[in-house]
Structure 1
């Protein structure tokens, strides 16, 4: 089969998801079933010999394969591979031959499986990480007199029961393991926000896989500061876990020159073009930097390449498999501790429109990662413009944990991430999910949390060990271990006061849980209010008076989106300025090109522009002028604008830099702006503006809002 024909068959054999329609997929079930039958008859050797994409990713996938294993499986058809994987010996076969399975072959077999068949494979294959018994695995606090929860110099509340617990030997990714990444995000990278979120997560038994923070600002200074904070938590509390600030691997490498960095992070993609758009490097460049870190944490997710025009005609499942192939290649070359996290549902309805599509993607991705030999976690999440309500996402999460057996999920302080603005798994859901699945956190973390009087010997979370008192007590221990000489009671009071301030700002901290780890009524009401506010913000419009007050001289234009529904469902329609409006922008060109051009867009939240622009833009213009920087006299205000619409404006005006103020995706309970600074010329001064400009040319700062 010719490469174009095979690529087309792969696309049509995919289960229906909106994202695949962007690369030629179909809604016609009959066509999809016929393509599946055709794909099932293809031999693995034919797939391996056919380059769906000719790029650096494909080269890396070739180099990562074991030639002997590849030769042994080449005669198998996709249908026969499916039969083997579903047989009682399937897991053993996969462990023996997985290094001979090309990523595209793994994608092919996933396409011809039902959800039930995917679940059978997912629950049979596990790829545990090596145990690290010596890694920060102290069983005593530095001061034995410090007890975190209920007083000083007190024996453990669980006593000899700990010795009777039989859950020994549970490591990350093992069959009995179900863990989590604490995601303690803060809109302003505030250290108290982050610290108390981590401590609250620990009281629910979370964080045994990694503590991973998404920085709101990813400049090197911020990365260094946050790496130091995470390290202090892990070291002071002697937590047997890893930590990571999720900036790109280039910036982390710069930070590593100034402070220890435990785990290197990078988002991966299935084409070189998509990877370059993320980090400005191909596979070999990422590999070179990955060698410098003790561990590697990679994130993936169906849809990133197709929504950034970097799919090269390949479908989402196959691109995702290729991303796992890149992770496998880097892990084999470096020998580093490596985990992968699939962020499923983060992009929006242009990729998945229903909970059923989200569930299918999670099953596909877990199976593909496991067949690559990777230790795989999920972020089962939904953006607010997908329209999946919080309760529906929680139900979907429970099904996915049962069906897919991922190694871990995200864990945040409340179902809505306070910085990224999307729905995901809360701290208090994790004890429920562990109980439901019959799986446990790692033995090392359980023992450590028992020593801290946080969890029971069996890993259960007693009601008395959660809530503001428990988190404040753990805060007191953290401070004491850092050398604070104040009394435990004083430190607890300080911790409780900080928690109360965060609650007043809308954080889901210190509320504890009700029977069965259910969220208290006040927390449920808060989550529903955030959801309602987000849905309202998605359809808000720019207020002419608010814009005029902040920008007396501006030009209103629109993108090619016909209406708000098209804008939300088809992001590309919001990336280009309408032809007639583009001509009006070009007419703004003066003899002196602007060094900086200000662009303002409604984005996904016009309310954020209406509320914050007046306090942000005039001071910004004043400071730029004081610095001697020539700013375009007329701001461009875009209706239904995406980030790339700012690139289009930059190209039309040939600006040196575009400062794009845009309404952030709602979901934090706050209306916040993002500022995207895009550099329109390379180091040689040559213009690089184009609608397809790599996002690597842009620096983003999120969480911009007026504090009253």
Structure 2
């Protein structure tokens, strides 16, 4: 085991192995303290960062933080590493890599993406300020497409999340109508079902597919059930646009989700054969979140942010349409307050973009976290400035099925307005065609007595 040493204020610290060094260098968060991998003091954290800055990037290839022989995610990362893309950075230290990132342009970032490992980008993020995470992520662009195009410069897409505590079709339809009238849904209309049964999932898929077909909406649907459920639905001819799965950064954590890489391989092949996209064929959707491996007892003594970045390597394998971190959803045991959630959101977005993943964020918190609506606004604004591909939006910002707080449809209008952002181009054209945009291209308010074809949607679930 390599021992790393750092000194601050004349006091020396020793870190046994890269995993220990990465944990000690991380900004403070409750999950790392719970796992026993956090720095014991601010002095130790500074010393760890100094030591980490001197580590050569190639060291992360030689010293996996999770053993190669015990973990298929590690094998995926190392066996798929692109040495040619890495070559321009091979002599860099983590500190030098940070400096390079600040000076690189978008094409330069894209050129090295396949040569970067999750541990490399996580290490660099630990040396960066929030502002630096925004500045670098803003330059990285990952564009994907199915029926709409997500990730273009100057655009902000949204997932319309019409969850209902009993999956009532009328309630789901009403939430979809609300979101569409406020210009949301261009990334996906995605429902978390209250139950994972295939009959219920199929009914929701058919409901949303009927809405998309009836109103010719250039978007995609997804019912966020387990990948095995979706595989069965595809075999029985259900209208599946996207395959969803929650994933994590270790084999054991994915096993806790009941998923393997082989299952994802099968689902990816099956959904691509359906060919339901019109402007692109990327058809996988993944969700992640810091703390998932620790909550499953599958963290291998590695800090939660590094493991989160490793989940993006799993996602990258399948060329997905969408990936998002549900950044504050797992709870205050892992991210205690608004400050920790904000930091994690910026880290996740930064790491995902550098690895070439189409990164979105569920800007959210649970009701027992030390956070509030002002934290939602702050996170949205900084992520919008950082070029986030999409955000999740719920009616009123309150998910009554999952019982947590997220961004609202109105929050998406705020972010587009203040940052001059627009919906996905195909969706924007549809909004204009159905009369929901004003002369300035903004979503307009319908008058109290004004009729509109979309208002018929309320009957779709009856």
Moved over 4 A (4+): 469-473
The Cα of 1:91 is off from its aligned counterpart by 2.5
Does the 8 A contact of 1:302 with 1:344 survive in 2? yes
Does the 8 A contact of 1:180 with 1:208 survive in 2? yes
2:139 to 107, 124, 128: 124
Does the 8 A contact of 1:196 with 1:471 survive in 2? no
1:103 match = 118
2:93 to 72, 77, 80: 77
Counterparts of 1:193-204 in structure 2 under 5 Å? 193-204=171-182
Cα distance in 2 between the residues matched to 1:284 and 1:382: 32
Give the structure, 1 or 2, with the largest relative contact order (CA under 8 Å, sep 6 or more). 2
1:361 to 336, 341, 344: 344
Change (3 A) 1:453 1:368: same
Does the 8 A contact of 1:211 with 1:244 survive in 2? yes
Counterparts of 1:221-370 in structure 2 under 5 Å? 221-258=199-236, 259-279=238-258, 281-294=259-272, 295-331=283-319, 337-370=320-353
Does the 8 A contact of 1:122 with 1:403 survive in 2? no
Change (3 A) 1:20 1:128: same
Does the 8 A contact of 1:85 with 1:91 survive in 2? no
Does the 8 A contact of 1:196 with 1:475 survive in 2? no
The Cα of 1:44 is off from its aligned counterpart by 1.0
Question: Matched residue of 1:192: which SS?
Answer: helix
1:179 to 157, 164, 176: 157
Does the 8 A contact of 2:156 with 2:423 survive in 1? yes
Cα deviation 1:585-617 (Å, max 9, x = unaligned) = xxxxxxxxxxxxxxxxxxxxxxxxxxxxxxxxx
Cα distance in 2 between the residues matched to 1:399 and 1:72: 34
Q: Normalized against structure 2, the TM-score is what? A: 0.89
Cα deviation 1:309-359 (Å, max 9, x = unaligned) = 11111111110110001111222xxxxx52101101001110112211111
Does the 8 A contact of 1:13 with 1:39 survive in 2? yes
Question: Matched residue of 2:144: which SS?
Answer: coil
Does 1:435 pair with 2:417? yes
1:411 match = 393
Counterparts of 1:14-25 in structure 2 under 5 Å? 14-23=26-35, 24-25=37-38
Change (3 A) 1:52 1:401: closer
Q: Any unmatched runs of 5+ in structure 1?
A: 138-170, 332-336, 483-494, 499-708
Change (3 A) 1:203 1:81: same
Cα distance in 2 between the residues matched to 1:471 and 1:421: 33
Does the 8 A contact of 1:202 with 1:454 survive in 2? no
2:79 match = 63
User: How many residue pairs end up in the alignment?
Assistant: 435
Cα deviation 1:445-464 (Å, max 9, x = unaligned) = 11111211222254312233
Cα distance in 2 between the residues matched to 1:174 and 1:471: 33
Q: Any unmatched runs of 5+ in structure 2?
A: 4-15, 273-282
Does 1:395 pair with 2:377? yes
Does the 8 A contact of 2:160 with 2:184 survive in 1? yes
Cα deviation 1:522-555 (Å, max 9, x = unaligned) = xxxxxxxxxxxxxxxxxxxxxxxxxxxxxxxxxx
Does the 8 A contact of 2:137 with 2:354 survive in 1? no
Change (3 A) 1:477 1:187: closer
The Cα of 1:290 is off from its aligned counterpart by 2.1
Cα distance in 2 between the residues matched to 1:283 and 1:108: 25
Does the 8 A contact of 1:44 with 1:77 survive in 2? yes
Cα deviation 1:88-134 (Å, max 9, x = unaligned) = x343221111101111111111111111111110111111224x6xx
Cα distance in 1 between the residues matched to 2:412 and 2:302: 36
Change (3 A) 1:79 1:470: farther
Question: Matched residue of 2:446: which SS?
Answer: helix
2:9 match = none
Cα deviation 1:643-662 (Å, max 9, x = unaligned) = xxxxxxxxxxxxxxxxxxxx
1:685 match = none
Does the 8 A contact of 1:237 with 1:478 survive in 2? no
Cα deviation 1:181-239 (Å, max 9, x = unaligned) = 00000000011111111111011110011110000011111111111111111111111
Question: Matched residue of 1:22: which SS?
Answer: helix
Change (3 A) 1:246 1:324: same
The Cα of 1:69 is off from its aligned counterpart by 1.9
Q: Normalized against structure 1, the TM-score is what? A: 0.59
Cα distance in 2 between the residues matched to 1:220 and 1:366: 32
Cα distance in 1 between the residues matched to 2:450 and 2:235: 37
Superposed CA RMSD: 2.1
Cα distance in 2 between the residues matched to 1:348 and 1:477: 35
The Cα of 1:395 is off from its aligned counterpart by 2.8
Cα distance in 2 between the residues matched to 1:57 and 1:209: 27
The Cα of 1:472 is off from its aligned counterpart by 7.5
Cα distance in 2 between the residues matched to 1:184 and 1:425: 13
Cα distance in 1 between the residues matched to 2:299 and 2:93: 26
Change (3 A) 1:362 1:84: same
Of the two, which has the highest radius of gyration? 1
1:48 match = 61
Cα distance in 1 between the residues matched to 2:406 and 2:451: 21
Cα distance in 2 between the residues matched to 1:357 and 1:462: 36
2:21 match = 9
Cα distance in 1 between the residues matched to 2:99 and 2:135: 12
